[in-house]
Amino acid sequence: MSESRATENSSVWSLLEREESVTRRLGHGYLLALSLVAVLSITGLVIIASVLWLHSADAEMINVGGRQRMLSQRIAKLAARIEVGLLAGEGPALIAHRADELQRVLDELSEAHVALRDRPNSRFPGPNSASIGERFSELQDHYEALVGATDRVAMAGSGAGVTLAEIADDLAVIRAEEGPFLAEMNAIVGLHERESAALIELINDIERGLVAASLITLLLEALLIFRPALRLLAQTQLRLRTALEALAASERSKSALLEAVPDVVLQIDRRRICRLVHVPVSVDLPTLTASLKGRSLDAALPPLAARALADRISLTRESEVAQRFEITLAAADGERRLEARIALAGLDDVLVLLRDITEQRALEREVVDIASLERRSIGRDLHDGLCQDLAGLSLLVSSMTQRAKSSGPSAVDPAQLAGVGEFIERALRESRQIARALHPIALEEDGLESALGELARSIEALYGVDCVAEVEVGDWPLSIATATELYRIAQEAASNAARHSGASSIELRLTDEDGHLILSIIDDGVGLAQGRPTTRGGGMGLRIMEHRAHVIGAWLRVESREESGTTVTCELPNAA
């Protein structure tokens, strides 16, 4: 049976590989054809758009050129009227009015001439052709003579003290230059009209070429791509019917397998819609029922659990590595702790397995509570017994030393007694350090904030590293067990940073963010990749921190970047 199934699977995979190969070739050809059509279309559009942009103002240029001819004729008439008015002795106001009008016409002529000649500019974007540029060069002398004479006549009309003889000379210049100026402007306008007609013909040629190239490409696409694709589609339909029959048999086998699994099983697509839901009879969770099928996971689960599950699903898709974490869901008898395992299930789906580990976590916490109670007992014994005895002994030896100094050297050797006192002092310091390590007295007496401050001072004293503690939380109802685990996580992370990372500063930070208690241990060392072991690589300290976080229902994250140090974050979603 297994051999026949293996042979069948091998045949199916071989068939799929052949079809995928054909599909890829057809797809590549189709993309090539589409790319060719797109390139041709875009190239033609770019050429047409650039040509149209360069010549977008041709019609206005032709109009402005025609107006230049009219303005030159008006200049000649106004100049002649000013001369007649001066000879006839007309009033100064009337002559000044004609001079102002002449100056306005001259300014308009000059502005339009500069815009037509010095292209491209804001008014006319495209450059002049070489032929038009030559025409403007030939026109320039006539233009300058015409403008100079007109300007002097306008000044005479404004009372600038120009003699009638000079005005007559300027009028002669205006009449002499008007004809050549009109002829050159007619030539420039004619050139613009011919260039515009040639441009229209060029655009028509480009359009015809694009249409022809697109038709040829589409014809080749139909012959070389779509016809083979239709044949492949017919073959695929036949094979699909066979595959559907095999799939129905597989579904029956899968249903039987799910009935034997004690975990909640969810198959989720890319939209986070549950395509398959299996809930064992033994599981009593209102949010996890068979009615979840076809619904969004975000709508069915509490926001915190849905967000955590969505983040891990995204991480599974990106890394293609199975993920394992824990979430909390409400049940009829209170909150239940579930272990979630996520793995890829095909191209688009992921498989989520949820196992109730509430009792397991309760047992683990009980073990941790017992161990913590034992450590506190030992710590108190050391603190109240050995430390007190050593302190009394130190005072006694100090008194004996003083007495020996006062009674004379024959009574006792002061140096020996002083040495005994030094040893006793050292033993006293060490015993106190052992007591604090077994159980931080400040944690139980003054709370987590005081304990973290004492830990920071201890790190500075032991390792010579700057270490500060910042606590910004309100009244969090932390039990001694939870506070102890958080303290131990901070202790382990700070010690690791001081010993292995080469850090010069360490920060212990405890904050309240959106109802979550966040414990962060931040250093500026070399990071995990260069100086310290990872959790999966065998680092016992990190595994212990993860275990402690799981015991109190928290999440532990370790983030490290090259040359940026490491941040260990423990997030507790609610008070424990």
Q: Are strands 566-572 and 323-331 parallel, antiparallel or unpaired?
A: unpaired
Predicted confidence at residue 255, as pLDDT, reads: 74
Across the beta sheet with 505-513, the strand order is: 466-472, 505-513, 516-523, 566-572, 555-560
**For residues 527 and 565, is the Cβ–Cβ distance under 8 A?**
yes
Query: Are 65 and 198 in a shared domain?
Result: yes
Query: Are 188 and 316 in a shared domain?
Result: no
Query: Are 201 and 285 in a shared domain?
Result: no
Which span out of 236-240, 263-267, 474-478, 555-559 was modeled with the highest average pLDDT?
555-559
Give residue-wise pLDDT tens across range 62-94. Answer: 777 778 878 888 888 887 887 787 777 777 777
Distance, CA of 196 to CA of 215 (rounded, Å): 29
Distance, CA of 360 to CA of 338 (rounded, Å): 10
Band (pLDDT 50/70/90 cuts) for residue 570 is very high
pTM, rounded to two decimals: 0.39
Predicted confidence at residue 112, as pLDDT, reads: 84
Query: Are 65 and 208 in a shared domain?
Result: yes
Predicted confidence at residue 536, as pLDDT, reads: 37
Does 139 map to a domain? yes
DSSP string over 14-25: HHHHHHHHHHHH
Q: Which amino acid, 121?
A: N
Does 475 map to a domain? yes
Residue 4 has pLDDT above 50, yes or no: no
Quick one: DSSP state of residue 287?
Answer: T
Does 31 map to a domain? no
Query: Are 64 and 209 in a shared domain?
Result: yes
Band (pLDDT 50/70/90 cuts) for residue 576 is very low
Final residue belonging to a domain, choices 356, 391, 409? 356
Contacts of 387 (CB under 8 A, 6+ apart): 428, 431, 432, 435
Residue 284 sits in a domain whose CATH number is 3.30.450.20
Query: Are 486 and 573 in a shared domain?
Result: yes
Q: Is 532 exposed, middle or buried (0-12, 13-18, 19+ CB in 10 A)?
A: buried
Q: What is the mean pLDDT of the chain?
A: 76
Does 228 map to a domain? no
Does 488 map to a domain? yes
Query: Are 63 and 208 in a shared domain?
Result: yes
Distance, CA of 101 to CA of 103 (rounded, Å): 5
Burial pattern 348-377, b for ≥16 Cβ within 10 A else e, equals ebbbbbbbbbbeebeeebeebeeebeebbe
Final residue belonging to a domain, choices 330, 356, 382? 356
Does 117 map to a domain? yes
Q: Is the peptide bond before 477 cis (omega within 30 degrees of 0)?
A: no
Q: Is 191 exposed, middle or buried (0-12, 13-18, 19+ CB in 10 A)?
A: middle
Sign of CA dihedral 568, 474, 548, 555: negative
Counting the structural domains of the chain, the total is 3
Q: Which amino acid, 387?
A: C
Quick one: DSSP state of residue 552?
Answer: T
Share of the chain above pLDDT 90, in %: 5
Query: Are 284 and 163 in a shared domain?
Result: no
**For residues 306 and 298, is the Cβ–Cβ distance under 8 A?**
yes
Give residue-wise pLDDT tens across range 131-180. Answer: 888 888 888 888 888 888 888 877 776 666 667 777 778 888 888 888 88
Query: Are 178 and 287 in a shared domain?
Result: no
Does 376 map to a domain? no
Q: Which of 360-364, 465-469, 512-516 has the weakest average pLDDT?
A: 360-364
Distance, CA of 303 to CA of 328 (rounded, Å): 11
Residue 64 sits in a domain whose CATH number is 1.20.120
**For residues 557 and 516, is the Cβ–Cβ distance under 8 A?**
no
DSSP string over 151-183: HHHHHHHTT----HHHHHHHHHHHHHHHHHHHH
**For residues 366 and 385, is the Cβ–Cβ distance under 8 A?**
no
Give residue-wise pLDDT tens across range 343-367. Answer: 888 777 888 888 878 777 776 776 6
Query: Are 199 and 267 in a shared domain?
Result: no
Read off φ and ψ for residue 123, nearest 5 degrees: -90, -40
Q: Is 565 exposed, middle or buried (0-12, 13-18, 19+ CB in 10 A)?
A: buried
Residue 527 sits in a domain whose CATH number is 3.30.565.10
DSSP string over 127-151: PPPHHHHHHHHHHHHHHHHHHHHHH
Does 270 map to a domain? yes
Q: Is 38 exposed, middle or buried (0-12, 13-18, 19+ CB in 10 A)?
A: exposed
Q: For residue 294, is it left (φ>0), alpha (ψ between -120 and 50) or beta?
A: left
Distance, CA of 69 to CA of 62 (rounded, Å): 11
Band (pLDDT 50/70/90 cuts) for residue 441 is low
**For residues 379 and 435, is the Cβ–Cβ distance under 8 A?**
yes
Query: Are 63 and 210 in a shared domain?
Result: yes
Cα angle 344, 347, 353 (rounded to 5 degrees) comes to 25
Query: Are 352 and 475 in a shared domain?
Result: no
Across the beta sheet with 349-356, the strand order is: 274-278, 264-268, 349-356, 334-345, 323-331
334: containing domain: 259-356
Residue 432 has pLDDT above 50, yes or no: yes
Final residue belonging to a domain, choices 303, 337, 356? 356
| Range 548-567 average pLDDT | 84
Predicted confidence at residue 513, as pLDDT, reads: 84
574 by DSSP, 3-state: which?
coil
